[in-house]
Structure 1
Amino acid sequence: MSATSDNPNLLDVDDARALLREHTISPTEQRVEIARVMFARHQHLSAEQILGRLVQHSSHVSKATVYNTLKLFAEKGLVREVVIDPTKLFYDSNLNPHHHLFHTDTGELEDVDPARVDISHLPPLPEGKELLGVDVIIRVSDRKA
């Protein structure tokens, strides 16, 4: 996958269509536009941020379509939902195992290499359950003087 040479913030249209088809998603015009923004590079974006970028690029995709498409992308394994709190949901295009550092002052979310986080003692799992993963969100803010 590659961003377009004229705009590094957008994935190439043909690459976006191919990515959607590869994940058995019908490449409608709106889904392709959303994919072009979401998959230009590894990034964490909220639905509102994606909508804002679409507007900047003169795209006419509704808010409901953005939310529904992101939900579909998550169901198909194209993005990972990162829930910061009940009011903050980001979509992460980096599917490699990693944790997150959330800057509460700016709302920025960044990746943390899992090798940099030591998780040594997990509670026993309930009978019949298996561990699917551990997601760590480290919240930080500027120090108050």
Structure 2
Amino acid sequence: MLILARNKFTYSEKGIMLSYHLPEIEIIGDPSLLNTVWDNLLSNDIKYNKPDGIEITIEEREELVIVTFVDTGIGMSEMELERIFERFYRADMARTRPIEGIGLGLSIVATIIKLHCGNITLNSKEKVGSTFIVELPFK
């Protein structure tokens, strides 16, 4: 069963409104690894977001579960999008320097999604926000 792990960040301290619509859908895979995916994606949304909010949705489409994380954060340039899932890559250091991290989270996410025969895509625009779309087969 899909479970979003409690995140280490306190949402109210950052003034972030989190909204989510999560039906109970069973996904084939390792619950611990999938929780790592959700935790990393939500952590990034919180780290790089503005107070406008984060939206998480889950839907069934054919034989896939689509999990979408939308934020109104700092976004990324086209060049950054090409490398964002590489190990140790961090987006523009001038914009992200005060934010902790070594650039492994999204690489780990991509690896786990591939291990589960899934796919992850990212749409992003600087100063507008990012949308991560995870597609996984379900039971």
TM > 0.5 fold call: no
Which is strand-richer, 1 or 2? 2
Larger radius of gyration: 1
Flag the structure with more relative contact order, 1 or 2, with Cα contacts below 8 A and sequence separation at least 6: 2
So what's the TM-score if we normalise by structure 2?
Answer: 0.29
